[in-house]
A and B are shown apart, each in its own frame.
Chain A
Amino acid sequence: MKESLKRTPLYEMHQEHQGKMIDFGGWELPVQYTGIIQEHHLVRTKAGLFDVSHMGEIQVTGEEAEAFIRYLLTNDVTKLKDQQVQYTFMCYPDGGVVDDLLVYRYSPQHYLLVVNASNVDKDYQWILSHAPEGIKVTDVSDQYAQIAVQGPQAQEILQTISDIDLSTIRFFWFKPRVLLAGIECMVSRTGYTGEDGFEIYLPGDKAVQLWKKILAAGGDNIAPAGLGARDTLRLEAKLPLYGQELGPDITPLEVGLDMFVKLDSGDFIGREALRQQKENKPARLLVEFEMIGRGIPRSHYEVHKNGENIGYVTSGLHSPTLGKTIGLALVQSQWSEPGQELDIMIRSKPVKARVTQGAFYKRSKK
């Protein structure tokens, strides 16, 4: 492992749980502990504990913070109330994605943006370069550890060490000061697994203590889960990953995430390009597909139709929950209809796949 890799405050826990450490965008993080599939199933059936301290946090404050954030991001931040969270994109003028992120509103003068680890510096510079006078932009990533507790039993487990009734935090809301095992945390009902769950932000020097308390509170119903399971869980739930489904050369409309792009409620960076793309319909679209032939579609495999290259796979996997092999691909939009048969080029051979709709994992809501 390279000397220069950054470590999270929970590094010693990963050692203790014998995590298999990898270089993840400059961070030394566990890809798995006991095994990706086992950890995946535990999150779907009970609960998993993730160290996501590598995520970046950028604070934006100022009298006109709300107006600035509206201009910076594609979703309509003015719709948020205090203690509400929103998923959104930061775009370039051409509609390509700088990053996808969560916005936490403390007040109309105070927001926290939670961004992808690999994009923190780029995002910070981008935001800073657009910030008018009176807006303060601060990279506070180093001040936070972040722990995600995900799974159907997440609430039940955390409730035993919480000073508030966690059912009062609804999906995509947060509470800024919750005591968990006596430690003050910011807690949101959010996640990246397709399950119910919470993301917990706290000072780094308290992270190990809380990690141990959560494991003790959950007993056999919770275990640490690594980045491998995080990826299979998010993909199974069709949640996009920056660098695969999103990037500077991919717009939110091409990947079908139009609902997070509000073209008619104020100006924002990229609006004109996205409006035009919406009017003309994107030339390519993200499709779900299911393998008919044998093989695992991997990122960047070509997609062919009638022998022509029509796009590429962004992500794929053998789904542990669904028991079938599924993937996402960006293809020319005329081939994006559900039912369409496509060829995934696996080791230079075409393998049949079918475009599907709604075939990915959705948890049953209570």
Chain B
Amino acid sequence: MQVPKELMYTDEHEWIKVDGERAVIGITDYAQHNLGDIVFVEVPELHAQVASGDAIAVVESVKAVSSIYTPVGGTIVEINDALEESPELLNQEPYEQFIAIIEMDDPSDLDDLMTPEEYEKFCQAQG
């Protein structure tokens, strides 16, 4: 299981890359592996205002429906349309494919995120 060192993580298995005022959000290798073959992505609404903890997208595998939650509040400034046509990209390259880019209202939302080391332990504990 890959856990890139330059990212931060949530306990819902999203990864976050901070780029100035912007947070890039995706799903982790652990998440895609556990979901199995991903067959549908409902992408977020561009320009939507979201609060920390909101469900912003839905990822469906053959067997499961899973919501994607944003750990940061703000405005969705970019979405990844390619996932509508090719949802399997999330299985193939989970860290290359983002779900949303959010312009953060309050960067202190990032304080609760896990480091790669913490996230790795968290996953191990989940089995």
Contacts and interface: CB of A to CB of B under 8 A. Distances in A.
Interface of A: 20, 31-32, 35-38, 228, 232, 294-296, 298, 317-318, 347
Nearest to B39: A318
B62 A317 contact: yes
B40 A35 contact: no
A296 B63 contact: no
B120 interface: no
A176 to B, nearest CB: 36
Contacts, number: 35
A36 B84 contact: no
A228 B62 contact: yes
Given A31-B63, A36-B37, 8 more contacts: A20-B36, A32-B36, A37-B37, A228-B36, A296-B39, A296-B40, A296-B65, A318-B62
B93 to A, nearest CB: 16
B82 to A, nearest CB: 14
Shortest 10 CB-CB contacts between residues of A and residues of B? A318-B39, A37-B37, A36-B62, A296-B40, A296-B60, A36-B37, A35-B37, A228-B63, A36-B36, A228-B62
Interface of B: 36-37, 39-40, 42, 58, 60, 62-63, 65, 84
A298 B36 contact: no
B26 to A, nearest CB: 20
Nearest to A349: B42
Contacts of B58: 347
B89 to A, nearest CB: 14
Nearest to A36: B62
Nearest to A39: B37
A298 B66 CA distance: 13
A37 B37 CA distance: 7
Looking at chain A's contact residues, the main secondary structure is mixed
B42 A36 contact: no
A347 to B, nearest CB: 7
Contacts of B60: 296
A318 B36 contact: no
Contacts of B62: 36-37, 228, 232, 317-318
B1 to A, nearest CB: 14
Contact of B63 (A36, A294, A295): A36
Contacts of A318: 39-40, 62
A295 B60 CA distance: 9
Given A31-B63, A228-B63, A232-B62, A295 B37 contact: no
B36 A35 contact: yes
A298 to B, nearest CB: 7
A36 B62 CA distance: 7
10 contacts: A31-B63, A32-B36, A36-B36, A38-B37, A232-B62, A294-B40, A294-B42, A298-B65, A318-B39, A347-B58
A25 B71 CA distance: 36
Contacts of B65: 296, 298
A295 B87 CA distance: 12
A318 B39 CA distance: 7
B91 to A, nearest CB: 8
Contacts of A38: 37
Nearest to B37: A37
Nearest to B127: A1
A154 to B, nearest CB: 23
A298 B65 CA distance: 9
A230 to B, nearest CB: 12
**Most A-side CB within 10 Å, residue of B42, B63, B65:** B63
A294 B58 CA distance: 12
Contacts of B37: 35-38
B67 to A, nearest CB: 9
A318 B88 CA distance: 12
Contacts of A228: 36, 62-63
B68 to A, nearest CB: 13
A36 B65 CA distance: 15
Contacts of A31: 36, 63
